[in-house]
Amino acid sequence: MQDKVAATLRPEDFVAADGRIDITKVIDGFADYWVEHGEMVEGKDYREAWPHLLLFTYLQAVVNSHGSLIREYAAGRQRADIVIRRPYPGDGGRPQREVIEVKVWHPRDKVDPAVDGLVQLDRYLDRLGLDNGVLAVFDARSGIPPIPQRTSVTRTTSPVDRAVTLLRG
């Protein structure tokens, strides 16, 4: 999968004029990619793992050799799912960091997981001293609209008023 994704993405297309990764372009691009390829994960076992895998593969192609992706494996410890780290000449030489929290809306869930996801994202952003982040919510419930109709990228705020890009797929 990585080779097919990498063949269609050019990391330089996601870099802003100041040299930072343009996370808005990245998430908008992934939303388009999800609409095109997301159906391959519907109905599969491990519904939570598949959206993570597809997103991680896409991000790896975007970051390529110009940075790193850190996948947090601290299940149950309120850690972010993905952190993008990329060298950046500004900001005193500190790397650019972008946080992405991923949630899956399971059929058993009574409440939209974005509610808890925003709180969780706030805690992680606070730890890293960041002002914004990304929350991706993938819907695995039955009887929902097809992926092209339900996929969206919106801007919202967290409970403590941080800017959040909300991807729904």
pLDDT at residue number 4: 54
pLDDT digits (tens, 9 = 90+) for 63-88: 876 778 777 655 455 566 888 988 88
> How far is it, in rounded angstroms, from Cα 62 to Cα 21?
9
Residue with tokens 């691009």: 29
DSSP 126: H
> Do 81 and 52 touch, CB atoms closer than 8 A?
yes
DSSP 21: B
For the chain, 169 residues long, give each residue's pLDDT as a single digit of tens.
Answer: 444 554 567 888 898 888 899 999 999 999 999 998 888 776 655 566 788 888 988 998 888 767 787 776 554 555 668 889 888 877 777 889 999 999 999 888 999 999 999 999 999 999 889 999 999 999 988 899 999 999 999 999 999 999 999 999 9
pLDDT at residue number 65: 65
Q: What one-letter code names the amino acid at 11?
A: P
> Do 64 and 11 touch, CB atoms closer than 8 A?
yes
pLDDT at residue number 166: 98
pLDDT digits (tens, 9 = 90+) for 117-135: 999 999 999 988 999 999 9
pTM of the model: 0.88
pLDDT at residue number 71: 73
> How far is it, in rounded angstroms, from Cα 63 to Cα 86?
8
pLDDT at residue number 27: 97
> How far is it, in rounded angstroms, from Cα 99 to Cα 17?
21
